[in-house]
Structure 1
């Protein structure tokens, strides 16, 4: 199965996020520009895949809408003006759009009747050394690493640790789950000691949790991108 469509979707998401002026503050004009960049990259990628016009339009509307929801939802979730339920809802909506786009792109691979090929004038260039699907997926993965991964890590920083431990437990890897819990406890122990010495008492900061869970989420994003390149 070709992952070229998934690579195109990732490239659109990554390009749109690169156009953000800031990860925390995105004005309406900047958001519109980001969405336009993503839609442009998505359309260009779909045209390279040589699909029928009706299928190009369908995928462009579907994946483009999900890219817009991801960008707007993630901007609200990490912005300083939203707190409480609004932030949680925006985060859930952004992650849902990101996951739905990936699933739609994978399932949409069934619409590809032939493997994409480079135009004849590019066949003799450096790009001609690799299959088009590999180039598209690699491009999408690299673009996602530049900006989108940072936003995704911030969105999953809270629930990811719990989900990971639940997942390990569900597949019977209780030892691995225990190692994660023990590692976090060891890392946070010095902070707990310092907090107890303060007057008045103060709770531990989020620095350790941010480091442990955030780093792990970042590694998973990078490893997932490497896996996509390998499977392309």
Structure 2
């Protein structure tokens, strides 16, 4: 579990640094600090090897998952990360003695004692649900041809010439709405408030309906909304299940 938590933490924190650190020098410095913090956590929690693996995974993610998520191949790092996190959470159970930190770590919750490994996994899941979730959604939209507007002359995508279509504009604030929505989905799912979850998802469709109804014949807005929303919900539900599995394993 500690490997999954550290990998998700490295990926999520790196994406937040890339998004909010405008200057390249500041961005590189913060990424170095992040790597050093992961190594320190690995040393103190007797998880040096998982920490090093997490740094490598974070570096590969940054390299293969650009912020603009251009190109169909950019979606596959998200699939690999999901498989890695799921497999390591299932195959590496919670450790009884997580190094020096384990001797001083005490965190209680309504469900009982929260172990250090479970806390790291929780932090990683929440970080990925933030900016990393936005990257995954944009990668899926780009893969389906709904994220980038097609030039007037058309262009090749996936071996086929795509004809021009109207850009799916009008949806503002998605960079903030997406993370908040995913965090709410995770919280409501773990709390078992499925009726509230269904109501929230239905309310989103109702609020967006006036924009979707302006589609005309292209269907671009409806496609943009459906693909983006479904991918975002899958990310949130997968994160909630991963966290539930890690805590109860």
Who is 1:200 aligned against?
A: none
Q: Are residues 1:42 and 2:38 paired?
A: yes
Superposed CA deviations along residues 91-132 of structure 1, whole A, max 9, x for unmatched, are: 15644663575378559838x875537443343x55893122
Q: Are residues 1:91 and 2:74 paired?
A: yes
Cα 1:158–1:223 change in 2 (3 A) is same
Superposed CA deviations along residues 118-161 of structure 1, whole A, max 9, x for unmatched, are: 443343x5589312222121111111112111111111224479
In 2: Cα distance, 1:15 partner to 1:42 partner: 11
In 2: Cα distance, 1:97 partner to 1:143 partner: 17
RMSD: 3.8
Cα 1:212–1:98 change in 2 (3 A) is same
Who is 1:10 aligned against?
A: 8
Q: Is the 8 A contact 2:61 2:77 kept in 1?
A: yes
User: Which one has the bigger strand percentage?
Assistant: 2
Structure 1 stretches lacking a partner, 5+ long: 79-86, 162-186, 196-203
Q: Are residues 1:219 and 2:233 paired?
A: yes
The match for 1:71 among 51, 55, 62 is 62
Who is 2:115 aligned against?
A: 131
Normalised by the size of structure 2, how large is the TM-score? 0.56
User: Which one has the bigger helix percentage?
Assistant: 1
In 2: Cα distance, 1:143 partner to 1:122 partner: 21
Superposed CA deviations along residues 37-80 of structure 1, whole A, max 9, x for unmatched, are: 442343244335414xxxx2x544443223112113322643xx
Cα 1:92–1:154 change in 2 (3 A) is closer
In 2: Cα distance, 1:148 partner to 1:16 partner: 9
Instruction: Count residues in correspondence.
Output: 179
Three-state SS of the structure 2 residue aligned to 1:75 is coil
Q: Is the 8 A contact 1:15 1:37 kept in 2?
A: no
